[in-house]
Amino acid sequence: MSRVKVGFVPLHRHPFDEKWAIELKERFIAAVKAGFGDVVDLVYPSERDTKLGLVSDDEDAESVAELFRKEGVDGIAIAALTFGDELAGARVVELVRKPTVIYATKEPATLPGGFRRSDSFCGTLSLTSALYRRKIPFLFGGIVLPEEEDFRRSFDAFVKAVNVVKVFVGAKVGAVGPRPERFETVTFNEAAMAARFSQRVVHVDLLEVVEDARKLGDNDPRVTKVVDEVVRQLDASAVPREALVKLAKLEVVLRELAERRGLVGLGLRCWTELQRFYGVTPCLVMGRLTDSGIMAACEVDVYGALTMAMQYAASLGKSIPFFIDWTIKHPTKENVFLAWHCGNMPPSLCHGACKLGFHSVMYREVGA
């Protein structure tokens, strides 16, 4: 999964203490690099971009907004390092329009003579009011210092939320074949998806996928690679090699389709045509695709694929999701049910030995 770019706005207002603002800016940068350097690229102004590398007026705001647009930031974090100029902060968000979190900072000790160095909380109230008047949504991350656990926890949640938005808005999802006619639960509204979230459903004919799979040779390196991986990954001793080769061919075609079209995932017409006309049940293929970051949902469940993509993004690609929607009530125990789907679990989620076999439902119907 790609890294998350966060634009950092170090907000300041004259005549408060710019030395304190600069110190806090460096501490925020150091905290993010130390705690999130594996997933976050922090974009922030230098002294070449703004006065003292801070943001305190309209000129600074325009410069920082241009920097953020150029770098393609995914989200914006604003810290009122001193009082903070609310119009400058609001202008950056207004121009860039990305998910935003606001931090107030804790007050330092007053200087001799009673001079207040910061007054961050008051400035934060003004900034959030400016965003509210403009109907720009934002998160409030708290009143923090960058080394504190409250900041780490809040920033972690923000980065994950930003990544969800990054993946979800503008997503392309494959719909391979039509949905099952009797399953109205997996309908989806393409017009609403496009209008609200700039999403697109990429329709693919199931017959085309099957024919492309059939065209692949049994000894195609892409096919043998998948077969070898499956044999190493799980116990496939009960499955004929011919079936493994068919599964491998189907995986190659679907994986290359997703990569070629830039899909975050796909919903597949997984029964009964594939069983009757191609000879395999595609659950293993779908689980392996999900394991590799291409979310694969049963029964052309486009919303299910999007849901998994959001879950995967929320974990920053560190946790494999599994979309479960068959809830079978336990025959004797109260408040216990079996949560599963009919076989497309990612193999990485197997507890102990993972065994490949014939489908418990489809085998009775079509023998695959």
Peptide bond into 332 cis (omega under 30): no
How confident is the model at residue 339, as a pLDDT? 74
How confident is the model at residue 365, as a pLDDT? 59
Cα–Cα distance for residue pair 15/41, rounded to 1 Å: 31
Give the containing element (helix H, strand E) for 133. Answer: helix 120-133
Q: Which residues contact 242 (CB under 8 A, 6 or more apart)?
A: none
Q: Tens digits of per-residue pLDDT, 13-41?
A: 999 999 999 999 999 999 999 999 999 99
Q: What is the CATH number of domain 172-366?
A: 3.40.275.10
- For the chain, the domains span 4-168, 172-366
> CA quadruple 73, 77, 82, 83: dihedral positive or negative?
positive
Quote the pTM value: 0.93
Picking from 285-294, 308-317, 356-365, which range would have the lowest pLDDT averaged per residue?
Answer: 356-365
**Higher per-residue pLDDT: 350 or 296:** 296
Strand partners, 326: 340
Helices then strands (H, E): number in the chain?
13, 11
Considering the segment(s) 4-168 as one domain, its CATH architecture is 3-Layer(aba) Sandwich (3.40)
- Angle made by CA atoms 176, 178, 180, in degrees to the nearest 5: 120
25-to-53, 81, 214 alpha-carbon distances in Å: 9, 7, 59
Q: Tens digits of per-residue pLDDT, 199-215?
A: 999 999 999 999 999 99
Please report, rounded to a whole number, the percentage of residues in the chain having pLDDT higher than 70. Answer: 96
What's the whole-number mean pLDDT along residues 86-94? 98
124-to-57, 83, 96, 142, 312 alpha-carbon distances in Å: 15, 7, 19, 10, 33
